[in-house]
């Protein structure tokens, strides 16, 4: 569905069901250069179990009006604007990678409606090396190559995927191709410049879940465990050993089962 | 050093997850009709497309799924759906987009089955086609109407062997926001990856070079994931809620694999042209050696072209690698390794000489197929294209004296010696 936020068109996939503001909301926030389709299987699952689902396209990405936002702080404020626009009352936030940084900043600043937070494949900082930043700005195809190569473990490189016939790495590649050069560079630059993650994460009081890919090269274990230590001590830490960085695509069934248990518990439907 | 596996490596490995229980190195054949659900929630999730996996073999199968992912990997597509034959691939691809009252622009120089589907069968359902010379860009653009939903052609036309300038046609298709669908059977992704030049959908008869051993019929539709179905309100089968699947919106929920997902959700369920797992296994075996076989097909083709071109009983030789072929330069652009292993030629002495030639070769097999590892030979005007009228024959570049060879990978000297026998028999008709 399309929303109007700050006089701009915003796209959100609702998982195949109309958005009902009176139901608990599951808000999915994608990573750098990606879009709502990243959450395909997960969004549909919750939408058909009496949750209202919003898989947003961040500004400038795929179906949402641009330009892309330039900082994680701006993105968090924008997420809050979206939540106000849809009049949600109970929100479970699910972020992947850059979406995690936005989640921690958003939940830290606007905690009132948040019932749970699921972080997937992230630390509290995401430093981006200069080669990748430069490539994203000047040679976006090279940047996508590197990101896709680093994001997926072997199964991705062998074009596997749990949806019959689908190549998850090619799907990711096609989405990113539609979001270059401006959006990908803006995203990576925003990640690189975000330095308040530790402070934001330590402010979070809502129940948290951290899902980690055992073979993640983009968010290495040292980084994700540092986030785990910063989040509330009750945080559920889950490691899916066979996954790389793209956990919701590489191991969708395990990831969804973890999200289901956590969200059903902390943000139940009536 | 590339970040990704090469074509040859993907040909062997793409799509396959090693069997965790027994460690089978070869892809197991999942010869089953259906799959046990672990619980009711998993069952309902699978039916509602919330979870990847298999329900019933008409829709998907693990062995077939490996083949689908392997072909998608080799073509650079986002997803693929394997079906029972190349013709069912064409049918499923078309019907995923086109409805009653819609229109297709298609090459006049295509496989007879494609022509017949578009000319005879689809009009019964209110779907019409304008046939055009695939090398005439102006004609292609002029044929596009408001209700045109697909531009369809073969990179190498069968059997005329004209080569479509797909990059230029893709520019036209993009300008008019109509997807370009290419039948890539004759080129295979080893010779040309048509998505790299702007095609949006690729179909194959896997029966031919991809499988390569003449054992199994199969087809595939590959989704390029590179067409914006939502940019206009034309492609409602993908952009509007699909009631039979709980109002699913394929474009919204599946993005770059929306087209392939529609085929699986609708055509595989309602029409059911499924590929058998045994055929998928055999086709996978063929694809493992695709590049090796294609190299040998091409080197043999090169030598046989020289043999035929210098033969006194040959009136003409047609192959895009011949310098005087009208598609030569375009063929070099898209297929620098070589423009496939189909040769057509005319035998002096006309139809009777051609018949004598075909009946007196022993190594080459007289049959209605192409792309086998073995050399094949046929007279198109009386067989593969016998059901199309004289005007369409001319449009397809077919003449009465035409013999079509699908050059195999035998020792090339054995092939030419076999042809010598055919020419000796044909000589009495000159």
A215-264 pLDDT tens trace: 999 999 999 999 999 999 999 999 999 999 999 999 999 999 999 999 99
Q: Which segment of A196-200, B46-50, B238-242 scores lowest on mean pLDDT? A: B46-50
Q: Tell if the CB–CB gap between A36 and B255 is shorter than 8 Å.
A: yes
CB atoms under 10 Å from CB of B247, counted, come to: 12
Residue B380 is part of a domain; what is its CATH number? Answer: 3.90.1150.10
B400: pLDDT strictly greater than 90: no
Q: Mean pLDDT, to the nearest integer, of B265-271?
A: 96
What's the pLDDT score for residue B27?
97
Q: Is B80 on the interface with A (CB under 8 A)?
A: yes
B3 in contact with A at a CB cutoff of 8 Å? Answer: yes
Task: Give the pLDDT confidence of A55-90 residue by residue, as tens digits.
Answer: 999 999 999 999 999 999 999 999 999 999 999 999
Question: Min CA distance, A201 vs chain B (Å)?
Answer: 31
Residues B359 and B308 grouped into a single domain: yes
Q: Are residues B242 and B272 in the same domain?
A: yes
Contact A158 B5 (CB under 8 A): yes
Cβ separation B246–A149 shorter than 8 A? no
pLDDT digit string, tens, across residues A120-172 = 999 999 999 999 999 999 999 999 999 999 999 999 999 998 899 999 999 99
Contact (CB, 8 A) for A120 and A126:
no
Q: Round to whole Å and give the CA distance between B26 and A267.
A: 46
Q: Which of A13, A167, A252 faces B72 most closely, judged by CB atoms?
A: A167
Q: Are residues B163 and B296 in the same domain?
A: no
Query: Is residue B282 domain-shared with residue B303, that is, in the same domain?
Result: no
In a domain, B333, yes or no: yes
3-state DSSP assignment of residue A100: helix
Q: Rounded to a whole number, what is the distance in Å from the CA of B248 to chain A's nearest CA?
A: 5
Residues B298, B281 share a domain: no
Q: Which of A40, A159, A171 sits opposite B253 (nearest CB)?
A: A40
**Predicted confidence (pLDDT) at residue B245 exceeds the cutoff of 90:** no
The reply to whether B142 falls in a domain is yes
Per-position DSSP letters for B187-209, written without gaps between them: THHHH--GGGGT-SEEEEETTTT
Chain B residue numbers touching A33 (CB-CB < 8 A): none
Exposed, middle or buried: residue B391 (CB in 10 Å: 0-12, 13-18, 19+)? exposed
The contacts found for A64-70 with CB under 8 angstroms, 24 or more apart, are A64/A8, A64/A9, A64/A10, A64/A11, A65/A8, A65/A9, A65/A10, A66/A182, A66/A183, A67/A182, A67/A186, A68/A182, A68/A183, A68/A186, A68/A187, A69/A186, A69/A190, A70/A186, A70/A189, A70/A190
Quick check: B260 and A165 CB within 8 A?
yes
Residues B87 and B203 in one domain: yes
Q: Do residue B309 and residue B276 come from a single domain?
A: no
Partner-chain residue, chosen from A146, A149, A162, that has the shortest CB–CB distance to B52: A162
Q: How far apart are CA A52 and CA B117, in angstroms?
A: 45
Q: Which domain holds residue B282?
A: 7-286
Q: Where residue B393 falls among pLDDT bands split at 50, 70, 90?
A: confident
Residue of A nearest to B67 (CA): A165
Q: What phi, psi does A12 have (nearest 5°)?
A: -140, 125
Question: What is the model's pLDDT at position B252?
Answer: 93
> Does A166 lie at the interface with B, CB-CB under 8 angstroms?
yes
B52, A37: Cβ pair inside 8 Å?
no
- DSSP helix, strand, coil percent of chain A (3-state; round to 5): 45, 15, 40
Residue pLDDT, tens place only, A84-109: 999 999 999 999 999 999 999 999 99
Is residue B28 located within the same domain as residue B124? yes
Residue B1 lies in a domain: no
- Give the model's pLDDT for residue B1: 61
| Structural domain spans, chain A | 2-125+195-266
B chain contacts of residue A253, beta-carbon cutoff 8 Å: 51-53
Domain boundary among B286, B317, B333: B286
Chain-chain contact of A166 with B79 (C-beta, under 8 angstroms): yes
Answer yes or no: do B326 and B374 share one domain: yes
Q: Which residues, including other chains, have CB under 8 Å from residue A132's CB and lie 6 or more apart?
A: A143, A146, A147, A188
Q: How far is Cα B12 from Cα B25, in angstroms, rounded to an integer?
A: 11
Reported as a single tens digit per residue, the pLDDT across B323-381 is: 999 999 999 999 999 999 999 999 999 888 988 999 999 999 999 899 999 999 998 87
Four-way CATH pick for A2-125+195-266: 3.30.1490.390, 3.40.50.720, 3.40.50.1820, 3.20.20.70 = 3.40.50.1820
Residues B269 and B308 in one domain: no
Question: Closest Cα to residue B191, out of B74, B302, B72?
Answer: B74
If one counts the domains in chain B, the total is 2
Give the domain CATH number at B43: 3.40.640.10
Residue of B nearest to A39 (CA): B253
A181-209 mean pLDDT: 95
Is residue A27 scored above 90 in pLDDT? yes
Name which of B268, B265, B274 is nearest B245 in CA terms.
Answer: B265
By the 8 A CB rule, do B80 and B221 touch?
yes
pTM: 0.96
**Angle (CA) B399 B400 B405, round 5°:** 75
Is the Cβ–Cβ distance between B28 and B48 less than 8 Å? no
In the listed set B286, B313, B343, which residue is the last one of a domain according to the structure? B286
Say if B2 falls within a structural domain: no
Last residue of a domain, one of B267, B286, B305: B286
A267's tokens: 């943000």
Average pLDDT, chain A: 95
Residues of B in contact with A56 (CB under 8 A): none
Residue B101 neighbours by CB distance under 10 Å: 10
Nearest Cα residue to A19 out of A63, A44, A54: A54
Q: How far is B55 from chain A (nearest CA, A)?
A: 11
A41 touches chain B (CB under 8 A): yes
Number of CB pairs, chain A paired with chain B, less than 8 A apart: 139
Q: Do A170 and B78 touch (CB under 8 A)?
A: yes
Residue B350's pLDDT is 84
């Amino acid at each position: 569905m399309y929303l109007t936020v700050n006089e701009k068109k915003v796209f959100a996939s609702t998982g195949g069901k109309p958005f009902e503001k009176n139901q608990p909301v599951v808000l999915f926030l994608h990573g750098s250069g990606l879009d709502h389709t990243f959450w395909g299987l997960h969004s549909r699952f919750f939408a058909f179990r009496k949750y209202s689902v919003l898989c947003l396209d961040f500004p400038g990405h795929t179906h949402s009006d641009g330009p892309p936002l330039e900082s994680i702080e701006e993105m968090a404020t924008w997420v809050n604007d979206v939540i106000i626009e849809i009049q949600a009352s109970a929100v479970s936030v699910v972020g992947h990678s850059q979406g995690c940084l936005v989640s921690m900043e958003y939940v830290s600043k606007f905690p009132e409606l948040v019932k749970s937070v699921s972080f997937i494949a992230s630390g509290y900082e995401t430093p981006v090396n200069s080669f990748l930043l430069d490539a994203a700005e000047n040679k976006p195809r090279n940047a996508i190559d590197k990101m896709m190569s680093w994001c997926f473990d072997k199964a991705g490189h062998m074009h596997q995927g749990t949806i019959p016939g689908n190549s998850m790495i090619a799907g990711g590649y096609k989405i990113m191709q539609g979001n270059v050069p401006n959006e990908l560079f803006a995203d990576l630059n925003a990640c690189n410049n975000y330095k308040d993650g530790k402070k934001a994460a330590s402010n979070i009081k809502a129940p948290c879940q951290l899902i980690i890919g055992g073979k993640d090269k983009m968010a290495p274990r040292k980084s994700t465990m540092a986030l785990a230590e910063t989040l509330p001590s009750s945080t559920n830490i889950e490691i899916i050993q066979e996954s790389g960085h793209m956990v919701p695509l590489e191991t969708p069934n395990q990831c969804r089962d973890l999200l289901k248990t956590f969200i059903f518990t902390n943000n139940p439907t009536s | 050093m590339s970040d990704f596996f090469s074509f040859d490596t993907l040909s062997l490995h793409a799509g396959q997850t090693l069997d965790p229980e027994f460690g089978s190195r070869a892809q197991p054949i999942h010869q089953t009709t259906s799959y046990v659900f672990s619980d009711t929630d998993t069952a309902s999730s699978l039916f509602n497309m919330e979870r990847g996996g298999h329900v019933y073999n008409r829709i998907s199968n693990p062995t077939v799924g490996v083949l689908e992912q392997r072909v998608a990997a080799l073509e650079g597509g986002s997803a693929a759906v394997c079906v029972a034959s190349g013709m069912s691939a064409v049918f499923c691809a078309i019907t995923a987009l086109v409805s009653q009252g819609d229109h297709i622009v298609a090459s006049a120089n295509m496989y007879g089955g494609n022509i017949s589907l578009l000319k005879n069968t689809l009009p019964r359902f209110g779907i019409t086609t304008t046939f055009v010379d695939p090398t005439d860009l102006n004609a292609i653009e002029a044929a596009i109407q408001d209700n045109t939903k697909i531009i369809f052609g073969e990179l190498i036309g069968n059997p005329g062997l004209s080569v479509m300038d797909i990059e230029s046609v893709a520019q036209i298709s993009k300008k008019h926001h109509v997807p370009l669908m290419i039948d890539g059977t004759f080129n295979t992704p080893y010779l040309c990856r048509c998505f790299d030049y702007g095609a949006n959908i690729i179909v194959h008869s896997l029966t031919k070079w991809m499988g390569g051993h003449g054992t199994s019929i199969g087809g595939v539709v590959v989704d390029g994931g590179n067409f914006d179905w939502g940019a206009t309100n034309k492609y409602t089968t993908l952009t509007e809620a699909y009631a039979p699947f709980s109002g699913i919106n394929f474009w919204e929920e599946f993005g770059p694999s929306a087209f392939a997902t529609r085929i699986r959700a609708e055509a595989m369920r309602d029409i059911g042209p499924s590929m058998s797992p045994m055929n998928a296994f055999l086709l996978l075996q063929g694809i493992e050696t695709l590049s090796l076989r294609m190299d040998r097909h091409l080197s043999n083709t090169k030598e046989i072209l020289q043999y035929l071109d210098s033969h006194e009983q040959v009136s003409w030789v047609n192959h895009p690698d011949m310098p005087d072929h009208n598609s030569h330069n375009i063929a070099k652009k898209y297929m620098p390794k070589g423009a496939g292993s189909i040769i057509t030629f005319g035998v002096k002495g006309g139809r009777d000489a051609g018949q004598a030639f075909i009946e007196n070769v022993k190594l080459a097999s007289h049959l209605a197929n192409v792309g086998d590892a073995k050399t094949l030979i046929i007279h198109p005007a009386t067989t593969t294209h016998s059901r199309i009228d004289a005007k369409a024959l001319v449009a397809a570049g077919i003449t009465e004296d035409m013999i079509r060879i699908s050059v195999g990978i035998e020792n090339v000297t054995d092939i030419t010696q076999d042809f010598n026998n055919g020419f000796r028999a044909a000589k009495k008709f000159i």
